[in-house]
Structure 1
Amino acid sequence: MFRTFILALALSGTAAAAQTGDPAKGKATFARCAACHSVAPGKNGVGPTLAGVVGRKAASVPGYRYSPAMQKSGLTWNAATIARFIAAPSKVVPGTKMMAPPVTNPQDQANIVAYLKTVSGK
């Protein structure tokens, strides 16, 4: 049974990717991210805007100064990479500027991802 769970976790990329997120709960959980990140298109803060982040290449928001590590990361922000990154930013992208406390709860990760999917970049 444990082996099956580990295999499913490996195939999904993260536990959050295997869970269904709730966008309304994700919006509430995202409040801790809003101190640095806006969801308004073109509005960067301490961190880049997250409007339209799902499906976007990392370090691609115009006008935001990314760390060299993020610029070289080669990531594309999908559900799995977002969940992994918010769980352990400096492990996923060593040298990242993001110093926020990690979001370690897989359901919170899934909820944030579900919310970010609703935030258009337009």
Structure 2
Amino acid sequence: MLLGGVRATAWMLALLVALPAMADNADLVRGERIFITQCAGCHAVTPDSHRAGPSLHNILNRPAGAIAGFEYSPGMEDADLLWTPEVLDAFLENPEQVVPGTRMVFWGLDARERELVIRYLREISSD
């Protein structure tokens, strides 16, 4: 009986170690789904692939309006900000409030959706 208890304990410990990784993966999948449904119509995540908006590949810690060759709105060109997770979070909540004059027409995401999209962008951009 003791051996069965040891096996069950070992199995439970292995599961406890695996659960955070499984949750992280599920969050990334959710972030990707939100990106596809809410963002991919205007933004790509591959380098140098622009749509109505610029590529979001490696957006974190990039200055606003910094991709050469993309025609930004005057508001975005004049924006003096760095796309930190906090700034991106505020922008995804209310783009016009963060960058007056932006061309981005977006009604925002709730806090959890913003968190998941930002985590997804961080994950797919790490080279």
Point out where structure 1 has 5 or more consecutive residues left out of the alignment: 1-19
Residues 53, 121 of structure 1: 8 Å contact kept: no
Instruction: Find the aligned partners of 2:72 and 2:125 in 1 and give their Cα distance.
Output: 21
More contact order relative to length (CA 8 Å, sep ≥ 6): 1
Alignment match, 1:70: 76
Please tell me the residue identity of whatever aligns with 2:116: N
Post-superposition offset of 1:87: 0.4
Give the share of equivalent positions with the same residue, in percent. 32
Post-superposition offset of 1:62: 1.8
Post-superposition offset of 1:120: 2.2
Q: How many residues align?
A: 102
User: Which structure: larger Rg?
Assistant: 2
Moved over 2 A (4+): 119-122
- 1:106 equivalent in alignment to 2:120: no
Structure richer in helix, relative to its length: 2
Task: Spell out, residue by residue over 1:6-30, the C-alpha distance to the aligned partner (whole angstroms, 9 max, x if none).
Answer: xxxxxxxxxxxxxx9x322111111
The alignment's TM-score, normalised by the length of structure 1, stands at 0.78
Point out where structure 2 has 5 or more consecutive residues left out of the alignment: 1-23
Aligned CA RMSD, in angstroms, stands at: 1.8
